[in-house]
Structure 1
Amino acid sequence: MKYTELGKTGLQVSRVCLGTMTWGTQNTQADADQQIEYALARGINFMDTAEMYAVPPSPATYGKTEAIIGDWISRNPSRREEFVLATKIAGNGLHYIREGGDITGEAVIKSVDQSLERLQTDYIDLYQLHWPNRVSPHFAKHWPGRINFSDVDRDAHVAQMLEILQALDVCVKAGKIRHFGLSDDTTWGIHQYLQLAEKYDLPRVASVQNEFSLLHAKDWPYLLEHCVHEDVAYLPWSPLAAGALSGKYIDGARPEGSRWSFAQRNGLFRDTAQSNAAIKGYKEVAEKHGLSLVQMALAWVDQVDGVTSTIIGSTSMSQLEEDIDAFELALSDEVLKDIGDVFRQYPSPY
């Protein structure tokens, strides 16, 4: 397993991060225990969760994933030091979480305590804002006209950011969290947090995790350039486009028990004619070179300049083993050229 520094934190994290969002819906406690043990044995020392999980998000599943991880930690307290644990505070819009309200300083302090209780740990290594209070161009909102930046009250949002940073500082000084990161945010958001941290001597943003894959690479090159030069770790989530790059949903297939057979909060916005065609194209490339589509797609993300650690999620041990093995691959120039040919045909298929 290869390791990379997480921004400027001094923490060395594995190039693979174990995602956990299906624990509590598609996966049981026993499944999670097995995945954790296997991941640690393979050298993975980075695990990501969120208060909102399990998914699909609902009042019934809220907090379940953190509780599952906490159950494992309670039975293995001496092993807590073996991994970097990341979790996230949910943003606004979910009526059953803080009545759907914004992330505020008060919300941060309360939510950190609640996550610590569910996780049954004394500290969180990386505490992330799941999405910003302003509407960000994620979850298929990146097309022109979907959101209007000019409608945003910039000063009000910057004031909110400062309040959030001040609350995070309280948590850092109390030893409850070590570092903080962003999720589903933009270059402007990262920049504002960096400026505020420097101006007011507050915690520096360590990382950002955004959706990134062969089907959704909108952060390249501008946001990734910013991350590289500002030493902000970039953590791709959904590197298989919610399972689409496994090929199992080609031409409308819906295998029983698969993620796309569940109701999705934002619908199946990744399921488009362009995506279907792109996946078929990538599948042909993988078959031509004797690779699995899954491993080729994951290896491609891993080799993108600026990527720190890729968040994977699996519902079965066989999937987890295949995913981790992908990070031992080195894609040849010929493979990368063939991938590039498909990418140019379908640069933004959803």
Structure 2
Amino acid sequence: MKTVKLGSSDLQVSEVCLGSMTWGNQNTQDEAFAQIDYALERGINFIDTAEMYAVPPSKETSGLTETYIGNWIATNKSRRDEFVLATKIAGVGIPWIRDGGKIDGDAIRQAVDGSLRRLQTDYIDLYQLHWPNRMSPHFSKHWPGQVDPTDTDIEQERAGLLEILQALDEMMQAGKIRHIGLSDDTPWGISEYLRLAELHDLPKMVSIQNEFSLLHLKDWPYLIENCVFNDVAYLPWSPLAGGALSGKYANGAKPAGCRWTMQQRNGIFRDTAHSHEAIAAYKEVADQHDLSLVQLSLAWVYQLAGVTSTIIGATSMEQLAEDLDAYSVALSAEVLADIDGVIKRFPQPF
């Protein structure tokens, strides 16, 4: 598997990143260990997690995913340098994490130390802000009227961003984190953090991870252009739309143990009539070209211009193997044209 530079950082990461949010809920520690071992064997050198995981989030499982990864590191101490480890500080609204408070300097100091303790490591390669303090157009809030930017006190927001950068710089100077990035943010968020970093001689954000798939294309082309021109790595998460692009929810099916059977913090917002119509149309394209729907969906994201590394997640080794095998699938011009036809019919299914 190829490795690429992570934005303006000095890190080289595999073009596929192993996500971990099911570890501690749908997956046991032994299953997490098996996924890590297998991913490393297949050339993955990039693992992403978060302090609030497992997902769906709960007080009982909060921090458990990091703990599983930390236990793997403790068991394989000589292998820590084999992979780039990314984690995230939770934003406002999780009551059992710092009383649901916003991200600020004190929260960053507490969260970094907590993650280091659970991960049983001396440093975090990439430390990310899970979502902004302000209301942002993510998690099905991208439709008109869902977010009103005129409600934001922009000067207060800028002061908060500067405090965050200063605290992250403090953590970098202490050697606790190596690089910083964003998650679930916007073109303005990227640009403002970069502007403040340059103005105040503070560290630059080197990456952003946002939801992106054939069912959720709102970052194309404007946010991705921003990333490319500013040397910020773009890391799509949920490239299978929460498993929907595996086809397992076709015809109203909800297999036991799957994510759509669980209570979600933001609801099952991907489950719409247009989503199911789009999935059926993509399945037709896949069938016509002797591909699985998973291969078609992942290969399209893996190979899209501007994508740095795609974050995948699996609850079984069979799923993980299929996700990684899709990396080697080359989509012909004819397949891409057929995919474009479906995109034009269903540009924003949810």
Give the TM-score category using the shorter length.
Answer: over 0.9
Give the whole-Å Cα distance in 2 for the aligned partners of 1:244 and 1:256.
14
- CA offsets, 1:72-92, max 9 Å, x none? 000001100000000000000
Aligned partner of 1:158 in structure 2 is 158
* 3-state SS, counterpart of residue 17 of structure 1: strand
Give the whole-Å Cα distance in 2 for the aligned partners of 1:92 and 1:207.
21
Give the whole-Å Cα distance in 1 for the aligned partners of 2:58 and 2:79.
31
Aligned partner of 1:184 in structure 2 is 184
Aligned partner of 2:280 in structure 1 is 280
Q: TM-score, normalised by structure 2?
A: 0.99
Q: Residue type of the partner of 2:129?
A: L
Aligned partner of 2:327 in structure 1 is 327
Give the whole-Å Cα distance in 1 for the aligned partners of 2:282 and 2:153.
42
Aligned partner of 1:248 in structure 2 is 248
Aligned partner of 1:125 in structure 2 is 125
The CA deviation at 1:251 is 2.1
Aligned CA RMSD, in angstroms, stands at 0.5
Q: Residue type of the partner of 2:119?
A: L
Are 1:267 and 2:261 matched, yes or no? no
Unpaired runs of 5+ in structure 2? none
Structure 1 segment 95-134 matched on structure 2, within 5 A: 95-134=95-134
Aligned partner of 1:217 in structure 2 is 217
The CA deviation at 1:259 is 1.3
- CA offsets, 1:104-162, max 9 Å, x none? 01110111000000000000000000000001100000001111001100110110000
Aligned partner of 1:172 in structure 2 is 172
* 3-state SS, counterpart of residue 22 of structure 1: coil
The CA deviation at 1:243 is 0.2
Aligned partner of 2:86 in structure 1 is 86
Aligned partner of 1:302 in structure 2 is 302
Aligned partner of 2:292 in structure 1 is 292
The CA deviation at 1:2 is 1.2
Give the whole-Å Cα distance in 2 for the aligned partners of 1:339 and 1:273.
19
Aligned partner of 2:202 in structure 1 is 202
Structure 1 segment 306-321 matched on structure 2, within 5 A: 306-321=306-321
Q: Residue type of the partner of 2:74?
A: S
The CA deviation at 1:329 is 1.2
Counting aligned pairs with the same residue, the percent is: 67
Give the whole-Å Cα distance in 2 for the aligned partners of 1:188 and 1:110.
27
The CA deviation at 1:163 is 0.3
Aligned partner of 1:338 in structure 2 is 338
Give the whole-Å Cα distance in 2 for the aligned partners of 1:62 and 1:204.
29
Q: Residue type of the partner of 2:223?
A: L
Give the whole-Å Cα distance in 2 for the aligned partners of 1:323 and 1:270.
20
Give the whole-Å Cα distance in 1 for the aligned partners of 2:146 and 2:35.
38
The CA deviation at 1:250 is 1.3
Give the whole-Å Cα distance in 1 for the aligned partners of 2:119 and 2:338.
44
The CA deviation at 1:295 is 1.1
Aligned partner of 1:57 in structure 2 is 57
The CA deviation at 1:101 is 0.8
Aligned partner of 1:40 in structure 2 is 40
* 3-state SS, counterpart of residue 157 of structure 2: helix
| Alignment length (residue pairs) | 350
Give the whole-Å Cα distance in 2 for the aligned partners of 1:176 and 1:203.
14
Give the whole-Å Cα distance in 2 for the aligned partners of 1:72 and 1:102.
30
Structure 1 segment 12-51 matched on structure 2, within 5 A: 12-51=12-51
* 3-state SS, counterpart of residue 326 of structure 1: helix
Give the whole-Å Cα distance in 2 for the aligned partners of 1:161 and 1:326.
38
* 3-state SS, counterpart of residue 308 of structure 2: coil
- CA offsets, 1:33-85, max 9 Å, x none? 10000000000000000000001001011000000000000000110000000
Give the whole-Å Cα distance in 2 for the aligned partners of 1:94 and 1:198.
32
The CA deviation at 1:208 is 0.3
Are 1:145 and 2:136 matched, yes or no? no
Give the whole-Å Cα distance in 1 for the aligned partners of 2:295 and 2:5.
24
Unpaired runs of 5+ in structure 1? none
* 3-state SS, counterpart of residue 135 of structure 1: coil
Give the whole-Å Cα distance in 1 for the aligned partners of 2:53 and 2:252.
27
Aligned partner of 2:66 in structure 1 is 66
